[in-house]
């Protein structure tokens, strides 16, 4: 048998997800009610096939590298991020299935949209060129806008969709302008050629100084565009509202998969293309400090678990930005490993915590205040412990995945002479520990009030998802990372 062409096999995860999305769209049309019931299982099958082909790629001796004339790069980093995105989507499907049943909103297109967004993420993290980056980002974002407004009859959900949409397109325009400026200066849209242009071409050319200004301008516009997507302060205004207003499993998906993919390519750009000293180091460090501090201080004031997590998710974007600011001095693979590990740890604990809210808050997510959870751990010891594990991991307690994630990023900053930045980040971690532990404590408060939250029993799908998240948050730091 002839070997399949490399373009086909190396992108197998993407093909599986796209095929899944198209199948899901047909499933409901062809089989009506039966197709609707089979949708979660079918989605999971395709996602597991994608995950399986990611693991097969990771086990290969040599990675395919650049494909399609360099438009797509399949290396250890992009395959690892593809796997993280597929993991995030799988967890979302497991959490959504019982959530949608409870809210009486089961449709086939919900799962098709999740798969389409996942396809966009896979294109985005594998991009080796700006047009591919843009198309992947938009595929991911457009599916995300619809998912945010999935409960279109609820005002909160529709408002979340509006805010997500307006800021999303606004930021895309800035990103695109950045791409245009970089293309205008260098005449290329490929990351590798742009890097060569910045490195070698510039000093020799006449008028080099003025051209460098345009490189800086392009990079700044890229930071604004991607900064909106990953919710770096001061571009984070939409994030708390959207994560608060969207359905809990969708918020989980938007704050793990979508954010992981956007940060994935953000890190690749600044570790591989703009990896020389420049004004972006100071800019990213400032953004990191602003994001961490604003996110954590706002989270302190919240009394609603979902909104607190929305702000905590902003703060976590700041921690990754610490790693990005330190990207100039380190080898690209060190930066990318630290970012990828953090995104994996963050995906496991954040998906878990939003899934937990989806389960516990009851119909219409009415009970998501701290006071509603009081004494929950005595009725559901396992679930109480699960939330405690997620919150401890988010706070960065020692043996958990969240600790190792932060450790690698902050170490990067220290190694590159940004000690002050690492100190600020650690201080921020202390602040965040206060509100995470306060939330965890509520579970173990004895109360006489009537129990409101966490009344539903746990289905097998939910159990599996929580098990993966808890186990992952506990042991991810001790596993051998792919690269």
Partner 1 sequence: MDILFPITPTHYLALSAILFGIGTAGVLSRKNIFVSLMSLELMLNAVNLSFITFARIHGDLTGQVIVLFVVAVAAAEACVGLAIVIALFRLKENVNVDLFNELKD
Stretch that binds partner 1, among 38-46, 159-167, 252-260, 446-454 (CB under 8 A): 159-167
Site membership for partner 1, residue 155 (CB under 8 A): yes
Pairing of the two strands 65-67 and 72-74: antiparallel
Among 142, 239, 440, 465, binds partner 1 (CB under 8 A): 142
| DSSP line for 157-223 | HHHHHHHHHHHHHHHHHHHHHHHHHHHHHHS--BHHHHHHIIIIIHHHSTTHHHHHHHHHHHHHHHH
Site membership for partner 1, residue 216 (CB under 8 A): no
Site membership for partner 1, residue 218 (CB under 8 A): no
Q: How many CB atoms lie within 10 A of CB 64?
A: 17
| DSSP line for 251-315 | HHHIIIIIHHHHHHHHHHIIIIIS-SSSHHHHHHHHHHHHHHHHHHHHHHT--BHHHHHHHHHHH
Binding mask 173-192 for partner 1 (x = CB under 8 A): x--xx-xxx-xx--xxx---
- H or E stretch at 66: strand 65-67
Site membership for partner 1, residue 220 (CB under 8 A): no
Among 13, 40, 225, 245, binds partner 1 (CB under 8 A): 245
Tell me if residue 74 falls in helix, strand or coil: strand
Site membership for partner 1, residue 162 (CB under 8 A): yes
Among 99, 145, 266, 392, binds partner 1 (CB under 8 A): 145
The torsion of the CA quartet 365, 370, 376, 378, rounded to 10 degrees, works out to 180
Q: Which of 84, 93, 167, 169 is nearest to 124 (CA)?
A: 84
Site membership for partner 1, residue 217 (CB under 8 A): no
Site membership for partner 1, residue 301 (CB under 8 A): yes
**What radius of gyration do the chain's Cα atoms show?**
22
Among 28, 54, 75, 244, binds partner 1 (CB under 8 A): 244
**Sequence-separated (6 or more) residues with CB below 8 Å from residue 95:** 248, 249, 252, 351, 354, 355, 358, 359, 462, 465
Site membership for partner 1, residue 166 (CB under 8 A): yes
- Site for partner 1, residues 411 to 470, rule: CB under 8 A: none
Q: Are 92 and 252 in contact (CB under 8 A)?
A: yes
Q: CB nearer to partner 1: give 28 or 241.
A: 241
Q: CB nearer to partner 1: give 129 or 336.
A: 129
Q: CB nearer to partner 1: give 163 or 337.
A: 163
Tokens encoding 215: 């490189």
- Site for partner 1, residues 112 to 131, rule: CB under 8 A: 130-131
Site membership for partner 1, residue 365 (CB under 8 A): no
Site membership for partner 1, residue 169 (CB under 8 A): yes
Q: CB nearer to partner 1: give 389 or 439.
A: 439
Stretch that binds partner 1, among 65-73, 96-104, 133-141, 270-278 (CB under 8 A): 133-141
Q: CB nearer to partner 1: give 87 or 239.
A: 239
Q: CB nearer to partner 1: give 32 or 152.
A: 152
Q: Which residues of the chain form contacts with partner 1 (CB under 8 A)?
A: 130-131, 134-135, 138, 142, 145-146, 149, 152-153, 155-156, 158-163, 165-166, 169-170, 172-173, 176-177, 179-181, 183-184, 187-189, 240-241, 244-245, 298, 301-302, 307
């Amino acid at each position: 048998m002839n070997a399949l062409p490399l373009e086909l096999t190396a992108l197998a995860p993407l093909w599986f997800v796209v095929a899944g999305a198209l199948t899901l769209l047909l499933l409901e049309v062809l089989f009506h009610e039966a197709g609707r019931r089979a949708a979660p299982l079918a989605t999971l099958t395709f996602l597991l096939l994608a995950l399986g082909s990611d693991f097969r790629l990771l086990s290969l001796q040599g990675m395919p590298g650049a494909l399609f004339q360099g438009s797509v790069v399949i290396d250890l980093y992009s395959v690892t991020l593809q796997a993280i995105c597929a993991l995030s989507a799988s967890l979302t499907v497991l959490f959504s299935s019982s959530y949608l049943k409870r809210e009486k909103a089961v449709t086939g297109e919900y799962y098709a949209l999740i798969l389409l967004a996942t396809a966009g993420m896979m294109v985005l993290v594998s991009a080796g060129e700006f047009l591919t980056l843009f198309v992947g980002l938009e595929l991911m974002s457009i599916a995300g806008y619809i998912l945010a407004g999935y409960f279109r009859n609820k005002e909160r959900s529709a408002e979340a969709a509006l805010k997500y949409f307006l800021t999303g397109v606004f930021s895309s325009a800035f990103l695109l302008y950045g791409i245009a400026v970089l293309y205008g200066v260098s005449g290329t849209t490929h990351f590798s050629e742009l890097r060569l242009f910045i490195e070698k071409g510039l000093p020799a050319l006449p008028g080099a100084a003025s051209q460098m200004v345009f490189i800086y301008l392009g990079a700044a516009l890229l930071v604004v565009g991607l900064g909106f997507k990953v919710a770096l302060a001061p571009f984070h205004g939409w994030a708390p509202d959207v994560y608060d207003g969207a359905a809990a499993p969708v918020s989980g998906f938007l704050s793990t998969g979508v954010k992981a993919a956007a940060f994935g390519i953000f890190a690749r750009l600044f570790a591989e293309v703009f990896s020389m000293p420049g004004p972006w180091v100071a800019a990213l460090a400032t953004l990191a400090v602003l994001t961490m501090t604003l996110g954590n201080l706002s989270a302190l004031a919240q009394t609603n678990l979902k909104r607190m997590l929305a702000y905590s998710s902003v703060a976590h974007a700041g921690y990754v930005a610490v790693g990005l600011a330190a990207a100039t001095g380190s080898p690209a693979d060190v930066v990318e490993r630290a970012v990828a590990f953090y995104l994996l740890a963050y995906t496991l604990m954040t998906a878990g915590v939003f899934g937990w809210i989806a389960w516990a808050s009851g119909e219409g997510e009415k009970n998501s205040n701290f006071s509603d959870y009081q004494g929950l751990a005595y009725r559901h010891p396992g679930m109480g412990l699960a939330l405690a594990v997620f919150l401890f991991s988010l706070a960065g307690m020692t043996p958990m995945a969240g600790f190792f994630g932060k450790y690698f990023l902050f170490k990067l900053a220290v190694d590159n002479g940004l000690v002050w930045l690492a100190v600020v980040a650690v201080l921020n971690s202390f602040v965040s520990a206060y509100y995470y532990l306060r939330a965890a404590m509520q579970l173990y408060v004895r109360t006489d009030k009537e129990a409101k939250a966490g009344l539903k029993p746990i289905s097998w799908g939910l159990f599996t998802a929580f098990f993966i998240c808890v186990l992952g948050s506990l042991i991810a730091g001790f596993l051998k990372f792919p690269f």
